[in-house]
A and B are shown apart, each in its own frame.
Chain A
Amino acid sequence: MIRYAWLIPLFPLAGVLINGLLGSKTRGAAGHLATLMAGLSFLVVLGISREMILGPGGSHTVAVWNWITAGKFSASLSFLIDPLSTIMLLVVTGVGFVIHLYSIGYMHGDPGYPRFFTYLNLFMVSMLLLVMGDNYLVMFVGWEGVGLCSYLLIGFWYEKKSASDAGKKAFIVNRIGDAGFLLGMFLIWSLTGSLAYGEVFKAELAAPAATAIGLLLFIGAMGKSAQIPLYVWLPDAMEGPTPVSALIHAATMVTAGVYMVARTSPIYVQGPAALEVVALVGALTAIFAASIGLVQNDIKRVLAYSTVSQLGFMFMALGVGAFASGIFHLMTHAFFKGLLFLGSGSVIHALHHAPADQQQDMRYMGGLRSKMPVTYGTFLIGAIAIAGVPPFAGFWSKDEILAGAFFSGHYLVWGLGTAAAFMTAFYMFRLIFMTFHGEMRVDHHAREHIHESPATMTVPLVILAVLSVVGGILPGFPPDAGWIHKFLAPSLAKAPAAHAAAGEGYRIVKAAAGAGEPGGGHGTVGIVLIALAIAVALGGIALAWRMYMRDTAAPGRLAARFPGLYRVLLNKYYVDEFYQACIVEPIYRLMRSLFNFDQRVVDGAVNGSSFLTVWTSRLSGLFDLRTVDGAVNGTASVLAFFAQLLKFIQSGMVQNYLFMMLLGVFLMVSAYLFR
């Protein structure tokens, strides 16, 4: 089955072609066709996974086509099937299939229905290329492809200006990251002579080189996976349809950066300084985004910032050397974040009779749980999972990350992460209480129309809910030594030695932890950490309950007490405004001045040349006129002049004429005489 790996992207590609070219014919069936294609890919992936998991595993290369051979550079379109790519494939095709199914119900009746599924399948093709490629070039092709699809899908309802602007923003910010990715690729090739993973990871690189590569590639990851400072596109990306938000901006595309760093782990461990940067950026992003999510009122915005925050967690994991934990969290996050987004889509769908600006605003929701039990139930499961309450999925992966940070001596990272975890629990349950509990603040007209979503939408919710429950404990128990860690080990590098700043405290902790590496059990300290993590999660839930269920005036009072802080958080720390002023405006000004210059020079040249032409033509015309007329008139005037002189010969008197004759005779005789 592994030999047939090339089928995996082929099914969605077929879907793209059929729906893209014949969309007007397929119409309502477009969604079913696209979902079928996604499902077929998933089946192939299941087959491959069976072989990988039950069989000897290892890494297999399935070559498809020798793409470029130019001098010393060669790259081929071939796929790598190894544990890491297997996990990624399972997540992408599995969650992708579920979300395709969901979209059939959600996008029903939309005029661009076939176009939506064309783009969705195209996204699948690109994402699959990204995770299946066996060299950085194929990954980059997929990377750009998912960027394109993100743009297309965010701006799906392009008549709405905010949507098309958001699409542009996403693409442009991504491109900034891509510049770093490209530079990293150039560096890789120039130092190792190849772009294929196998050959690149065999090379031994000096620490500065490895660090440089790591940082450059991480810049790409910052753009794609929405870390500081290139995260600004993700909240705006919520303009797209909710399935898009679920699939692309929660489960798969944004995780591409995480995958890339994990895949490049052999290089990163050779340049540990880059890993430090990754961890720090991840931690800062986690807490920064979480703090913004505390006060947002749009349900999807909250989830968007939550995603940014959780991505920060994943990078934290990678940065501290817990590569497998990062991938594990990627997987569980796909389950519960996908679930949360789909659930919010269900809520928005139920409120579609409300005024447009109220459909997604949590201040106009409330008390929905009685009307939408399935949605509520699954949503609750997802919220508990993300909060990190055992035995649900999120606890296992998140706790591993925090423990990994602590035991490798990254205490600052651990502290920031724990605080972010507290905030995560808080804002998720704030969301739950505001949306599903309490008194109904929904617009009266819309109230009658609130109903549970159809089966095509609720079944995916249930599937993902189940995964959110068992998707953590089954692969990940015991922590750092579960099935998934053993499975992924061959693909990922071993964590580097603990960083130097750990110092004395680290040694004490390590001693207390007993003889164990960050990859194994940690003894008592480990159990304390686990307890702390659980306490943090429950504490966040409790605080949310108190502020939004019991003492509902409390948020208002708090906001009144700290109006400045509240405004800063509500306005996302004014980062967008800062970027607009410092980056976008100068570029616009430069563009305008260049445009003016071009206008003047070009127009000036054109007008000048035309003026010149007219002028010279006028000159030549004048000259021609004068010369021609002059010649003609001149001839006439010469003739006239001589006529004036000669007219006197015609006297009318015959004797004069006879005299002339005599003269003539005289001349003739002279001629005869003097010949």
Chain B
Amino acid sequence: MELLFFYIFAAGIVGASLLMVTRANVIHAALSLVLAFLFMAGLFVLAGAEFLAGVQILVYAGGIMVLYLFSIMLMNVGVSIRLRQWHRQSVLALAAALLLAAEIWMVLGRGGYPEARRWPWKLGETPGNVEALGQVLYTKFLFPFEVASMLLLAAMIGAIVLAKRRITR
């Protein structure tokens, strides 16, 4: 049963990604990516990371991708469609990627991972994933958490400064 859903979500993600990289229209590509993120959120729920699924939709699909779409709208999409889309090295790159895929397939075939374990809680039960995550996040990973907030602040300031229109008087 789980496996079936996994395949469904996986197919969705992969399909949407492929769609994304092949679109000439940037807006279409961005929207395809959003679709991929949604499927990914479903996958996260399947894997027992409910909070992460929520964050994915809220932040990633709802924040970052919206930001992307705003930026795209500031650019002239019509012009870019008519230009050549593909880099000259595309063939080589594709070949390299496929080769790498084959290799990773071989790596994965080796196996040899330690034994699996189950989550100590069931879906819907307290404490569930969110509490547990909060527990870990604010104790064990406090420092990275604070750093991440600093990083966000810096990025915010940086983005504002970079994108500012130069004032010429």
Chain B residues, Cβ within 8 Å of A655: 87, 89
A669, B96: Cβ atoms closer than 8 Å: no
Bound Cα distance from A673 to B107, whole angstroms? 7
B131 CB within 8 Å of chain A: no
Q: A665-B100, A666-B99, A666-B100 are in contact. Are A659 and B106 (CB under 8 A)?
A: no
Bound Cα distance from A672 to B100, whole angstroms? 13
Chain A residues, Cβ within 8 Å of B93: 659, 662
Chain A residues, Cβ within 8 Å of B103: 666, 669-670, 673
B100, A662: Cβ atoms closer than 8 Å: yes
Chain A residues, Cβ within 8 Å of B156: none
Chain A residues, Cβ within 8 Å of B107: 669, 672-673
Q: Which of B88-146 contact A (CB under 8 A)?
A: 89, 92-93, 96-97, 99-100, 103-104, 106-107
A657 to chain B, nearest CB (A): 11
A673, B106: Cβ atoms closer than 8 Å: yes
B106, A666: Cβ atoms closer than 8 Å: no
A627 CB within 8 Å of chain B: no
A662, B96: Cβ atoms closer than 8 Å: yes
Main secondary structure of the interface of A (DSSP, over half): helix
Chain B 69-94, CB-CB to A under 8 Å as 1, else 0, gives: 00000000000000000010100110
Smallest CB-CB separation from B104: which chain A residue?
A669
A663 CB within 8 Å of chain B: yes
Bound Cα distance from A659 to B96, whole angstroms? 8
Question: Contacting B92 at CB < 8 Å: which of A659, A665, A669, A670?
Answer: A659
A635 to chain B, nearest CB (A): 33
Bound Cα distance from A673 to B109, whole angstroms? 11
A656 CB within 8 Å of chain B: yes
Chain B residues, Cβ within 8 Å of A669: 100, 103-104, 107
Smallest CB-CB separation from B92: which chain A residue?
A659
B89, A659: Cβ atoms closer than 8 Å: yes
- Chain A count of residues within 8 A CB distance of the other chain: 11
Chain A residues, Cβ within 8 Å of B89: 655-656, 659
Q: A670-B103, A673-B103, A673-B106 are in contact. Are A662 and B97 (CB under 8 A)?
A: yes
Chain B residues, Cβ within 8 Å of A663: 96
Q: Which of A630-675 contact B (CB under 8 A)?
A: 655-656, 659, 662-663, 665-666, 669-670, 672-673
Q: Which of A152-199 contact B (CB under 8 A)?
A: none
A663 to chain B, nearest CB (A): 6
Smallest CB-CB separation from A670: which chain B residue?
B103
Chain B residues, Cβ within 8 Å of A673: 103, 106-107
A638 to chain B, nearest CB (A): 29
Smallest CB-CB separation from B99: which chain A residue?
A666
A652 to chain B, nearest CB (A): 13
Bound Cα distance from A656 to B96, whole angstroms? 12
Smallest CB-CB separation from A658: which chain B residue?
B93
Chain A residues, Cβ within 8 Å of B99: 666
A664 to chain B, nearest CB (A): 10
Interface centre among B93, B103, B107 (most CB of A within 10 A): B103
Chain B residues, Cβ within 8 Å of A672: 107
Chain A residues, Cβ within 8 Å of B106: 673
Bound Cα distance from A666 to B96, whole angstroms? 8
B53 to chain A, nearest CB (A): 30
A331 to chain B, nearest CB (A): 135
Bound Cα distance from A656 to B103, whole angstroms? 22
B103 to chain A, nearest CB (A): 5
B151 to chain A, nearest CB (A): 23
Bound Cα distance from A672 to B108, whole angstroms? 12
Bound Cα distance from A663 to B106, whole angstroms? 17
Bound Cα distance from A659 to B103, whole angstroms? 17
Smallest CB-CB separation from B93: which chain A residue?
A659
Chain A residues, Cβ within 8 Å of B92: 659
A271 to chain B, nearest CB (A): 126
Bound Cα distance from A656 to B87, whole angstroms? 10
Bound Cα distance from A665 to B93, whole angstroms? 13
Chain A residues, Cβ within 8 Å of B100: 662, 665-666, 669
Chain B residues, Cβ within 8 Å of A666: 96, 99-100, 103
B106 to chain A, nearest CB (A): 6
A531 to chain B, nearest CB (A): 153
Bound Cα distance from A673 to B108, whole angstroms? 11
A655 to chain B, nearest CB (A): 6
Bound Cα distance from A215 to B92, whole angstroms? 122
Bound Cα distance from A659 to B97, whole angstroms? 10
B93 to chain A, nearest CB (A): 6
Smallest CB-CB separation from A666: which chain B residue?
B100
Bound Cα distance from A205 to B121, whole angstroms? 155
A456 to chain B, nearest CB (A): 131
Chain B residues, Cβ within 8 Å of A656: 89
Smallest CB-CB separation from B96: which chain A residue?
A662
Bound Cα distance from A193 to B89, whole angstroms? 119
A530 to chain B, nearest CB (A): 150
Chain A 4-33, CB-CB to B under 8 Å as 1, else 0, gives: 000000000000000000000000000000
Bound Cα distance from A669 to B97, whole angstroms? 13
Q: Which of A457-485 contact B (CB under 8 A)?
A: none
Bound Cα distance from A673 to B103, whole angstroms? 8
Q: Which of A33-67 contact B (CB under 8 A)?
A: none
Smallest CB-CB separation from B89: which chain A residue?
A659
Bound Cα distance from A42 to B49, whole angstroms? 152
Bound Cα distance from A670 to B100, whole angstroms? 9
A662 to chain B, nearest CB (A): 5
Chain A residues, Cβ within 8 Å of B97: 662
Smallest CB-CB separation from A651: which chain B residue?
B89
Smallest CB-CB separation from A663: which chain B residue?
B96
Bound Cα distance from A670 to B106, whole angstroms? 10
Bound Cα distance from A384 to B103, whole angstroms? 149
A151 to chain B, nearest CB (A): 110
B117 to chain A, nearest CB (A): 27
Bound Cα distance from A665 to B99, whole angstroms? 11
Bound Cα distance from A669 to B89, whole angstroms? 22
Chain B residues, Cβ within 8 Å of A670: 103
Chain A residues, Cβ within 8 Å of B104: 669
Would you give 24 A-B contacts (Cβ < 8 Å), ordered by A? A655-B87, A655-B89, A656-B89, A659-B89, A659-B92, A659-B96, A662-B93, A662-B96, A662-B97, A662-B100, A663-B96, A665-B100, A666-B96, A666-B99, A666-B100, A666-B103, A669-B100, A669-B103, A669-B104, A669-B107, A670-B103, A672-B107, A673-B103, A673-B106
- Known contacts A659-B92, A666-B103; 20 additional CB pairs below 8 A are A655-B87, A655-B89, A656-B89, A659-B89, A659-B93, A659-B96, A662-B93, A662-B96, A662-B97, A662-B100, A665-B100, A666-B96, A666-B99, A669-B100, A669-B103, A669-B104, A669-B107, A672-B107, A673-B106, A673-B107
Task: Name B's A-contacting residues (CB within 8 A).
Answer: 87, 89, 92-93, 96-97, 99-100, 103-104, 106-107
Task: Name A's B-contacting residues (CB within 8 A).
Answer: 655-656, 659, 662-663, 665-666, 669-670, 672-673
Q: Which 4 A-B pairs have the closest CB atoms?
A: A669-B103, A666-B100, A662-B96, A659-B93
